[in-house]
Structure 1
Amino acid sequence: MEGRRRLTFTQVDQQAGSLAAALADLGLAAGDRIAVDLPMGVEWTLILLAAARLGAVVVPVSPSLGYHELRYLLRHAEARVLLAAGTLGGQDTREVVDELPSELPDLRHLVVVGEEDAWYEGRVLPFRGLLERGQAGGPPSRAAEESAPLGLIYTSGTTGKPKGVVLTHRNLVYAAEHANLALRLEATDRVLAALPAFTIFGVHVAVGALIGGATLVMQGAFVPRDALQLIERERITVVHGVPTMFQLLMRDGRIGSTNLSTVRTGIVAGSPVSVDLVRRIRGWCDVQIAYGLTETGPTVSITRAEDPPERRETTVGRPIPGVEVRVVDSGALTGPDAVGELGVKGPNVMAGYHRMPAETQRSFTGDGFFRTGDRASVGPDGFVAIIGRREETIIRGGHNIFPRGLEDLLRTHPAVDDACVIGIPNDMLGQLICACVVPVEGAIVTGDDLKEFCRDQVADHKVPDLVRFFDTFPMTGTGKVNRRELAEVVELELSTT
């Protein structure tokens, strides 16, 4: 479902078959890449299913990419077809058409969605026309192997060029299947899909609903007020999101008058979630906390309704069946409850990075565990606790400071709505601890107040050196706080004072 559009599984199957036939008629074959610069919606879902039938690979593209970023991604992915709406890389699609073909020889066709009256010639085709073209022939009969790639999903590239993560049919379906089992998803469920389609979480939500036979209710762009209306009108039972999305829903003034009685569960994942936040969400939606990465399909671990209450609040649950997790430190395995880099092994783990064999090799231990880059501990009972990203660790005067613990502490202060702790370069100590805070609306609190609050509960070397207040935090396209941009803002302020 999308807006007023309603499609049954039979209709989706027929249209996906027509689209697969049309793409095959254009010359696409198994293994070819199809780039998709579209929001979550009917067309996006049809493309995913058509690619699966054809044995082709879907390359989700963020609509926020600039022209040069888009060109890099399309070239690196070796995309044969690009499906997009009216704009590409911030420019009118028809303008881009004149430039891209000469720079991207692999790109044979551009399919435009939603502009059926626009001009088309040469390599440019209307999506509706492509569907009609496919109805004349039969869908491809070839069934893709489960080990064949289905998704090529690019990471955000915060530490360099984006990396293309190759995910197979089995990776994506296995992770979604076991998340469904943890949620006890049924065909009668109605799932809200409001996450960006270019993220692994967005893909995961769609795949999970489709293989579970549930109704998929799609919101092309997340707007809290509209999402609340959808939940009430469409009687949504499952709501997934990153912590920020749930916070925005609960901040919206209409939530008190919205009927949320049909909502029973969902997943909160994508970035750390505090105990306070998960308790507030569970006041109206009994979410499960999950952990995963693009490279793991994404689900690695998830809490379950039957777990001990304390473990449901303070951990990311236990690994899904068939997945092994270990704390890995420089290739050596450490004991239970020790903190180190988390390694993951199982049928959900990626095939590798596209056209990056050296990077792929570096990402795995000698015995096949994928290095997540996350610092974690694994308890004797199998529950996983995430401490934070390795690159986010602050080293102050020789002490390792993990931002997650300080952030969770700051969020318990009654005047703090959200917190993000970052490291700021310093000649004497190496780094200073800077607490970036979004205060509760109308609250009066000072930096000294928050430092004193922390001093009462943590060691002196963990007390923030700096406190900076923000109305909102800058966010990445995947709904996470943009720590790099926050650090740049603070560093610029310090350099001018």
Structure 2
Amino acid sequence: MTQATIPSPNAKEYAQREGGAANGCPWEDVERYRELGIYTGDTHWALFERVRDLYGDAPVAVDRYRSLTWNDVRHSAHKVGNLLRGLGIAEGDAVIVQLPNAAVHMEAIFGIWSIGAVPVFALPAHGADDVAHFARTAPAGVRIGAVPRDKHAKRVEKGLHEEIPELTTIQIDPRADDPWGNPVINGAEASSTEVSSENSTPWPSPETDPQALAFLQLSGGTTGTPKLIPRSHDDYLYSVRRSDEVCDMQRGDVFLVVMPASHNFTMSSPGILGALHIGATVVYVPDPSPTTIRRYIHAHRGTHMALVPPLLISLLNSRDEAQTPDPTMETMKTVWVGGAKLSASAAERVAPELGINLQQVFGMAEGLVNYTKLGGNIDEIVNTQGVPMSPADEVRVVNDEGAPVDRGTPGHLHTRGPYTIRRYHRNPAANASSFTDDGFYITGDIVTVSADGAITVTGRAKDQINRGGEKIAPESVENCLLKHPAIHDVSVVGISDDVMGEKIRALIILRDSYTTSGADAGEVQGGQDFQSTEVPHLTAVSRQLPTATQIKQFVRDSGLSRFSVPDIVEFVDEFPLTGVGKVSKKDQ
């Protein structure tokens, strides 16, 4: 098997160079968390093996094509690990995982952990530019993806081949009986001897340091591409265990993976890993439509799921109003809602209309997680985003000058704790602006804290768009649009939306040499236009003003994530300005 180009130093070594644990926690704090019993020395692969010993023949991963037991997943994980070893991947090397909601996602990440390597969690919606950035920053020499079947996935494959040809790509088919039996490596199917069943024989698992780099998660940002978040085994698994303690998922329950499996929310609050920790079953839902969600609840007797507010609202608005509560939810116990603020009006509807518990979750991939209390008072459940889940979480709310504010007064949320990072991965510029000198993470959220510690989010301090839980940097969309030959200038903002939380609005000033013939008139609403028919964008040769549809297609073709495509495109003559002549985004 041809070996991949493996970067050196690798991701783990870069993390070690910075000092402290992989997440930046100083050694004296690591020792303190050990003494408190917060850090237990666990690792992700050790967790899997321990629970597998208890429930080996029980189902653990189910999708529309396969149902796998714990032993099945272990068998596949060793095949993945040996495949990666054959490509030259060793302990501490990073591997990008960009897979859909399917059992192959679980097989891939535990296969990576089985050899002590480091997953980088990319989403299927990420474009080639994003993935190339992850590969260079981690650094990673291998990416695992699905055989491309839609236009976006094909654009990603083409873009990666052109932009970073040294990145080895493994393509697998989630629909196959044995997806790891015939992977496609750099466009060629691997030989049967390279991936034969004998290759499921486990290698000796490395003695992984629980403070070492476990994986790299992604953060939304206010500028450019996503930042990489370094999490250690000890810090993340504490977060998972603590989430299980404050939630109600139990052995025998069924967690439905509705949102992308690589999302931090889906993975750990309590999510996929929380389900595995207690021996529950994970069912992967292929799409988040209300019809599909209801079908999977019925077919698999689902008990729990995690949703962003737009998905919950779609579920509420699609029910049969003649039947209250919704009979299709009869096996469901709890829905966790987070990723963006849930309106009180929507929160109030969950219990009476769906007949299930609502537990709000306010968290971030960088660390801090807050939950409302199950069975708590209705005011807290509906109107707040909960309290920090760990007694060791430190929260402070400050004004613009950094001074603490009184309880109930809005201010900037800063946090520090055993599962909150102290630095980003290989990003000193972001570290300088995102962390205080005493190690608190500056979240960018404006919040109030009640007398009993409940946090309510009132806004964002950063210039960031939160579209249905996906964080988009306006600058990245602006930089993309400015490459269009017809565009003179552009300003991208988030605007309030009852369903998505925020939508992306692009105001565009065109170059003088372009005419208005053939242009869309006025404002054009894009909605969730992810699957539109492709329309070739016009170039400067035609000298015709492009339509809003063509502008959106230009963004899709550029390599940006699908969720970065503007919902609204509006052509204007000028932008609103502040008193000192700067573009006023708050007036757009």
Q: TM-score normalized by structure 2?
A: 0.64
Question: What's the counterpart of residue 207 of structure 1?
Answer: 273
C-alpha distance in 1, partners of 2:572/2:319?
Answer: 35
Whether contact under 8 Å (1:225, 1:254) holds in the other structure is: no
Whether contact under 8 Å (2:183, 2:189) holds in the other structure is: no
C-alpha distance in 1, partners of 2:195/2:267?
Answer: 22
Change (3 A) 1:273 1:22: same
Question: What's the counterpart of residue 304 of structure 2?
Answer: 238
Give 1:50 shift. Answer: 2.0
Change (3 A) 1:74 1:124: farther
Residue 142, structure 1, aligned to residue 142, structure 2: no
Give 1:38 shift. Answer: 0.8
Question: What's the counterpart of residue 379 of structure 2?
Answer: 310
Residue 175, structure 1, aligned to residue 175, structure 2: no
Moved more, 164-173 or 85-94: 85-94
Question: Among 119, 130, 153, which residue is 2:217 paired with?
Answer: 153
Residue 29, structure 1, aligned to residue 99, structure 2: no
Q: What secondary structure, in the 3-state scheme, does the structure 2 residue paired with 1:312 have? A: helix
Change (3 A) 1:393 1:78: closer
Give 1:75 shift. Answer: 2.3
Question: Among 460, 468, 471, which residue is 1:389 paired with?
Answer: 460
Give 1:214 shift. Answer: 0.7
Whether contact under 8 Å (1:339, 1:376) holds in the other structure is: yes
C-alpha distance in 1, partners of 2:239/2:155?
Answer: 37
Residue 190, structure 1, aligned to residue 254, structure 2: yes
Question: What's the counterpart of residue 488 of structure 2?
Answer: none
Question: What's the counterpart of residue 70 of structure 1?
Answer: 131
1:339-368 deviation line (CA, Å, top 9, x unaligned): 211111112212532210232233111221
Give 1:109 shift. Answer: 5.2
Tell me which amino acid in the other structure corresponds to 1:110.
I
Question: Among 293, 296, 310, which residue is 1:227 paired with?
Answer: 293
Question: Among 344, 350, 356, which residue is 1:275 paired with?
Answer: 344
Whether contact under 8 Å (1:22, 1:133) holds in the other structure is: no
C-alpha distance in 2, partners of 1:123/1:41?
Answer: 22
Residue 350, structure 1, aligned to residue 350, structure 2: no
Whether contact under 8 Å (1:290, 1:302) holds in the other structure is: yes
Give % identity. 25
Whether contact under 8 Å (2:217, 2:229) holds in the other structure is: yes
Tell me which amino acid in the other structure corresponds to 1:7.
L
Tell me which amino acid in the other structure corresponds to 2:129.
H
1:222-270 deviation line (CA, Å, top 9, x unaligned): 2221111111121111121101111112222568575211111131000
Question: Among 60, 64, 78, which residue is 1:17 paired with?
Answer: 78
Give 1:437 shift. Answer: 6.1
Moved more, 375-384 or 353-362: 353-362
Whether contact under 8 Å (1:152, 1:166) holds in the other structure is: yes
Change (3 A) 1:316 1:436: closer
Tell me which amino acid in the other structure corresponds to 2:398.
V
Question: Among 351, 354, 359, which residue is 2:430 paired with?
Answer: 359
Moved more, 319-328 or 166-175: 166-175
Change (3 A) 1:136 1:339: closer
Give 1:174 shift. Answer: 2.0
1:409-445 deviation line (CA, Å, top 9, x unaligned): xxxxxxxxxxxxx9xxxxxxxxx99765679xxxxxx
Whether contact under 8 Å (1:326, 1:378) holds in the other structure is: no
1:151-171 deviation line (CA, Å, top 9, x unaligned): 212234453222111122233
Give 1:490 shift. Answer: 5.7
C-alpha distance in 2, partners of 1:119/1:249?
Answer: 37
C-alpha distance in 2, partners of 1:154/1:50?
Answer: 20
Residue 91, structure 1, aligned to residue 154, structure 2: yes
What 5-or-longer segments of structure 2 have no aligned partner?
A: 1-61, 467-473, 475-492, 501-522, 531-554, 577-588
Change (3 A) 1:326 1:249: same
Question: Among 360, 364, 367, which residue is 1:289 paired with?
Answer: 360
C-alpha distance in 2, partners of 1:136/1:29?
Answer: 17
Question: Among 149, 164, 167, which residue is 2:228 paired with?
Answer: 164
Whether contact under 8 Å (1:474, 1:481) holds in the other structure is: no
Give 1:5 shift. Answer: 1.4
C-alpha distance in 2, partners of 1:364/1:319?
Answer: 19
Question: What's the counterpart of residue 444 of structure 2?
Answer: 373
C-alpha distance in 2, partners of 1:349/1:155?
Answer: 13
Question: What's the counterpart of residue 396 of structure 2?
Answer: 326
Q: What secondary structure, in the 3-state scheme, does the structure 2 residue paired with 1:91 have? A: helix
C-alpha distance in 1, partners of 2:137/2:572?
Answer: 34
Question: What's the counterpart of residue 462 of structure 1?
Answer: none
Change (3 A) 1:288 1:251: same
Whether contact under 8 Å (1:112, 1:127) holds in the other structure is: no
Question: What's the counterpart of residue 40 of structure 2?
Answer: none
Q: What secondary structure, in the 3-state scheme, does the structure 1 residue paired with 2:408 have? A: coil
C-alpha distance in 2, partners of 1:222/1:124?
Answer: 33
**Alpha-carbon RMSD:** 3.8
Tell me which amino acid in the other structure corresponds to 1:51.
I
Q: What secondary structure, in the 3-state scheme, does the structure 2 residue paired with 1:259 have? A: helix
C-alpha distance in 1, partners of 2:105/2:389?
Answer: 28
Tell me which amino acid in the other structure corresponds to 2:88.
G
Change (3 A) 1:44 1:129: farther
Question: Among 134, 156, 172, which residue is 1:112 paired with?
Answer: 172
Q: What secondary structure, in the 3-state scheme, does the structure 2 residue paired with 1:325 have? A: strand
Higher relative contact order (CA 8 A, sep 6+): 2
State how many pairs are aligned.
424
Whether contact under 8 Å (1:83, 1:113) holds in the other structure is: no
Give 1:149 shift. Answer: 1.8
C-alpha distance in 2, partners of 1:331/1:132?
Answer: 60
C-alpha distance in 1, partners of 2:119/2:496?
Answer: 40
C-alpha distance in 1, partners of 2:191/2:307?
Answer: 29
1:61-89 deviation line (CA, Å, top 9, x unaligned): 23233333332332223212111112296
